[in-house]
Amino acid sequence: MERKRYLIKFYYIGSEKYFGSQRQSKFETIENQIIRSLLERNYIKDIENAGFEVASRTDKYVSARGSCFSFLSERAPILMEVNSVLPRDIGLWAFSEVNNDFSSRFNALFRTYKYIFVLPEPEEQDYNLKAMKKACKVLGGRHDFLNFSKREKKNINTTRDLILAELNKDGNYLIFTFKSQAFLRQQIRRMIAKILEVGIGTLAIKEFTNLLNIEDYISYQPADPRGLILWDIFYGNNIRFTIDPGSYERMMNYFSSQYCKFSLKKKLFSILQHHDIS
């Protein structure tokens, strides 16, 4: 039978049990789970000849709502069939049939990431939102992001076009949105780390801007990966995804259950923190 290529949208929640998204032989990862599910449901016979390709890789604890992968198969995927053998913190929810030479990685026009930062109590630390938004504006456009990336052993081009760098406040949360065709390793988490320094006043805007102009690499710790979400990957209007209702409902039900679970935990610790024993 003729094999066709299918592009799949999927979500996952990064956690302690997954060593990032990229497949590994010694550690459990998001890709490992997906590949096993495709093998178990007989959509692929072996990974070496399946044309399996993931559009973006993420580090441990990073989550995704609209990541993508593609593979070759003799039959169209029934997403709930695959989801039935996946853990609830991973799920496929939409698909599109594409040309066999389509690349889920290189045909992406842009990737959108969001980063969530929890603001501490004002008496603990105050953040200058105006200065942080100014820092985001500095990042927009084409720059050499060497100092906003993890040092690689091999020489790579560190110039990127940042289409969008935006910051919005939602209650006691800061929501950052970044959009580009491609990002360097740890680029977003390192941009966040320095923007937050601008926010608390330990890094001036001029010093922040100079990070884009200095040729020497500067080493520092990136922001916590738990706040980072691969939000979406856009391939242009010619690629139309079909959302599977059952799979989408499964995803939203899981998000809802986790929201309730952690809302309870949040309230529990709030009471423990702010109420004296009497």
Distance CA 55, CA 17 (A): 22
Helices (H) and strands (E) in the chain, counts: 6, 10
Distance CA 34, CA 83 (A): 9
| Structural contact between residues 76 and 246, judged by C-beta atoms closer than 8 angstroms | no
Give the distance from CA 132 to its chain's centroid: 21
Instruction: Calculate the CA dihedral of residues 88, 119, 185, 111 and round it to 10 degrees.
Output: 70
Taking 3-state DSSP, the helix, strand and coil percentages for the chain, each rounded to the nearest 5, stand at: 30, 25, 45
| Structural contact between residues 27 and 59, judged by C-beta atoms closer than 8 angstroms | no
Distance CA 148, CA 23 (A): 25
Distance CA 242, CA 77 (A): 11
The count of C-alpha atoms lying within 13 angstroms of the C-alpha of 185, restricted to the half-sphere facing its C-beta, is 11
Given 59, 89, 144, 232, which residue is catalytic? 59
46 is catalytic: no
| Structural contact between residues 147 and 214, judged by C-beta atoms closer than 8 angstroms | yes
Residues that are catalytic: 59
